[in-house]
């Protein structure tokens, strides 16, 4: 196929075989970018979204329709099979399912309800509607699963592989929004927080549009069929320390770091985990602290199980947009970072 080069603004190649595509999770960060990429390629895109979507339910139906221009927007509840069939699929035929659906909290109950159960329901419904290829946004961290949401995602990956449909399971590294939470505080003169010395982990950040292009191209690229696809952005792997150094350089200031010991997270996890046995709300907070600890200590790169280490060279790259260009755009006010429902910094 002809690769589509669109993240840098150049026109994308149209798909040689435009399809009718059902998109789930279209109102999320990567869902939006993926819908843009699919529409540019000339696919007929139908998005099934919630009546109140986006972070904190900030988007009404019209807002979602504006954000997803070029796609048809249908409203209902993806976790409800009746709503999915009646308001989503409407008895029509589809060629492909692209799912960027993901729990917004990462809390265990939500993760199993969305990242596993709702995905299974949707896969079954999509198959009934004629879908023969499913493209799934997963995460590179499921290769070393320790957290509830990772187990939920892996369980669905297994369902998809066993379904008999063609699949492309895309496991990206870190998103720009997850690495931009400190830009505002550093701009205000505060130090850049790092765990340990800031070199415990590394990742190859990938931009929303580069990932959206990659997901959309899975429909046409035969080499991405029936594969699990770890994917990062362009350039070398970078550590949190390098992120901070570049941020200070862009601001024209001397680097100023504050080190947070990983042991602090362990203590928080210990306390919340114990109290969480009697107060369920704190059990969710304990899981969020476990998620924080995971990302403080595990790299978002391909894991070499034999060597027992992360391997930057084995982590494929795509796209053209870099985290540091994004930092520069944030500082100039030319871009705005979307904060999630559970931002850490
Ligand atoms: N952050 C990272 O650095 C990173 C790196 C690699 C992989 N990942 C993976 O990427 C995925 C997250 O992507 P993202 O940042 O694009 O997600 P996001 O912005 O949080 O979007 C999640 C999407 O799922 C939908 N959704 C969530 N709960 C729902 C529910 N109960 N009912 C219906 N729809 C629901 C959301 O709809 P609403 O708009 O209605 O809420 C939204 O469309 C996760 O699987 C994560 O593990 C993340």
pLDDT tens-digit readout, 250-297? 999 999 999 999 999 999 999 998 988 988 888 888 889 999 999 999
Q: Is the per-residue pLDDT at 345 higher than 50?
A: no
172 lines ligand 1 (CB under 6 A): yes
Q: Whose CA is nearest to atom 43 of ligand 1?
A: 25
106 lines ligand 1 (CB under 6 A): no
> How far does residue 286's CA lie from ligand 1's centre (Å)?
20
Q: Is the per-residue pLDDT at 10 higher than 60?
A: no
> How far does residue 306's CA lie from ligand 1's centre (Å)?
32
DSSP structure string for 1-24: -PPP--TTSPPPPPPSS--EEEEE
Q: Whose CA is nearest to atom 46 of ligand 1?
A: 139
pLDDT band at 338 (very low <50, low <70, confident <90, very high): confident
Phi-psi region of 146 (alpha: psi -120 to 50; beta: other; left: phi over 0): alpha
pLDDT tens-digit readout, 18-35? 999 999 999 999 999 999
Instruction: Write down the residue that tokens 């709300």 correspond to.
Output: 281
pLDDT tens-digit readout, 68-125? 999 999 999 999 999 999 999 999 999 999 999 999 999 999 999 999 999 999 999 9
DSSP structure string for 235-287: S--B-HHHHHHHHHHHHT----EEEE-HHHHHHHHHHHHHHTTT-HHHHHHHH
Q: Whose CA is nearest to atom 44 of ligand 1?
A: 102
**Cβ atoms of residues 289 and 268 within 8 Å:** yes
> How far does residue 340's CA lie from ligand 1's centre (Å)?
9
Structure tokens at 159: 């369902």
337 lines ligand 1 (CB under 6 A): no
Q: Whose CA is nearest to atom 12 of ligand 1?
A: 102
Mean pLDDT of 240-246: 98
């Amino acid at each position: 196929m002809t690769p589509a080069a669109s993240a840098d603004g150049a026109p994308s190649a149209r798909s040689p075989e435009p399809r009718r595509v059902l998109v789930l999770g279209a109102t999320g960060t990567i869902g939006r970018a993926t819908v843009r990429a699919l529409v540019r390629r000339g696919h007929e895109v139908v998005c099934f979204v919630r009546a109140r979507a986006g972070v904190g339910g900030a988007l009404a139906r019209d807002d979602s329709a504006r954000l997803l221009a070029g796609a048809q927007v249908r409203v209902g509840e993806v976790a409800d099979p009746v709503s999915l069939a009646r308001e989503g699929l409407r008895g029509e035929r589809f060629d492909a399912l692209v799912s960027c659906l993901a729990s917004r909290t990462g809390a265990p109950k939500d993760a199993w309800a969305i990242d596993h159960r709702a995905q299974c329901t949707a896969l079954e419904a999509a198959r009934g509607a004629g879908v023969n290829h499913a493209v799934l946004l997963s995460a590179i961290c499921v290769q070393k699963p320790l957290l509830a949401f990772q187990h939920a995602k892996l369980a669905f990956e297994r369902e998809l592989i066993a379904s008999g449909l063609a699949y492309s399971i895309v496991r990206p590294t870190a998103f720009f929004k997850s690495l931009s939470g400190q830009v505002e505080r550093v701009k205000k003169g505060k130090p850049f927080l790092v765990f340990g010395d800031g070199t415990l982990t590394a990742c190859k950040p990938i931009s929303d549009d580069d990932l959206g292009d990659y997901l959309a191209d899975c429909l046409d690229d035969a080499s991405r069929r029936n594969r699990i696809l770890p994917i990062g952005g362009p350039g070398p792997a970078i550590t949190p320390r390098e992120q901070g150094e570049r941020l200070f350089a862009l601001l024209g200031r001397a680097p100023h770091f504050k080190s947070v010991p990983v042991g602090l997270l362990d203590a928080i996890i210990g306390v919340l985990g114990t109290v969480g046995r009697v107060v369920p709300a704190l059990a969710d907070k304990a899981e969020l602290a476990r998620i924080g600890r995971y990302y403080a200590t595990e790299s978002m790169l391909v894991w070499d199980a034999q060597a027992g280490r992360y391997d930057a060279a084995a982590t494929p790259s795509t796209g053209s947009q870099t985290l540091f260009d994004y930092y520069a755009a944030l500082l100039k006010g030319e871009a705005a970072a979307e904060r999630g429902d559970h931002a850490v910094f």
